[in-house]
């Protein structure tokens, strides 16, 4: 069940482009607090945060949920997508990160549903409007990729790249770093993104988990920082 027409690669590039109006540029996902507290310094510090964020925070939670939502959309199983969405919402302990994931997910769904009419996207949006589902970034991304004909592995790597590039963009402004430093950080993290995609491919819903207490605590502290550039 996917929409014919525009090549899938272009659809994925559009979704992950910083120009796409998802609002993701406004979030640092706890990085701003880490920089403020002196825990992340320089390009090496940014690389360490990236690795911890991807492995502990995203790999078996958001990224896995995106993959499972992709599979559920392929079989037209809206109930499974709703269940995954609500489960992920319950796992988001930091308020700003929870609200950020919802804002990004709903905005992506709104834009894509306006550009590409799809019965399944409409039903998913309806479940959110009826408050049966939440609309988090990860399940929305998985469903949208499936509807737009993106291959599952490309969906996974695209989701991870979008998350990593957002962190790097925030780090360049916060630490601060040069743009070449940001590109170097992304280059160094590519093997980890590929490895995570391989790791989660055979996993199911019972494997959903996350463990990144340091990042979550800093994300919670963010709302009390004296000055803030980002919304998380």
Q: In the prediction, which pLDDT does 213 show?
A: 93
Do the Cβ atoms of 33 and 225 come closer than 8 Å? Answer: yes
Q: How far is CA 119 from the centre of its chain?
A: 24
The DSSP secondary-structure symbol of 59 reads: I
Q: In the prediction, which pLDDT does 5 show?
A: 56
Phi, psi of 19 (to 5 degrees): -75, -20
Domains and CATH numbers, the chain: 8-224 (1.10.4190.10)
Tens-digit pLDDT profile for residues 34-66: 999 999 999 999 999 999 999 999 999 999 999
Find the mean pLDDT for residues 127-145: 97
Give the list of residues 6+ apart from residue 21 with CB closer than 8 angstroms, or none.
107, 111
Give the residue among 168, 191, 173, 166 at the shortest CA–CA distance from 22.
Answer: 166
pTM of the prediction?
0.95
The DSSP secondary-structure symbol of 53 reads: I
């Amino acid at each position: 069940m996917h929409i014919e027409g525009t090549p899938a690669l272009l659809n994925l590039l559009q979704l992950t482009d910083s120009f796409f109006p998802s609002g993701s540029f406004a979030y640092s996902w706890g990085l701003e607090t880490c920089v403020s507290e002196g825990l992340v310094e320089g390009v090496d510090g940014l690389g360490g945060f990236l690795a911890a964020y991807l492995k502990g925070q995203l790999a078996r939670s958001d990224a896995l949920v995106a993959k499972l939502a992709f599979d559920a959309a392929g079989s037209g199983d809206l109930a499974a997508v709703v269940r995954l969405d609500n489960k992920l919402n319950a796992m988001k302990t930091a308020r700003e990160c929870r609200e950020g994931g919802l804002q990004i997910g709903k905005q992506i769904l709104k834009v894509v549903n306006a550009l590409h009419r799809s019965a399944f996207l409409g039903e998913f949006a309806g479940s959110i409007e009826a408050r049966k589902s939440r609309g988090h970034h990860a399940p929305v991304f998985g469903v949208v990729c499936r509807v737009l004909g993106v291959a599952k592995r490309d969906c996974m790597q695209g989701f991870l790249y979008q998350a990593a590039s957002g962190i790097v963009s925030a780090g360049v402004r916060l630490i601060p770093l040069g743009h070449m430093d940001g590109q170097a950080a992304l280059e160094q993290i590519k093997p980890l993104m590929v490895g995570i995609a391989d790791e989660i491919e055979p996993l199911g819903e019972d494997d959903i988990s996350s463990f990144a207490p340091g990042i979550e605590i800093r994300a919670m502290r963010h709302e009390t920082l004296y000055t803030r550039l980002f919304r998380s």
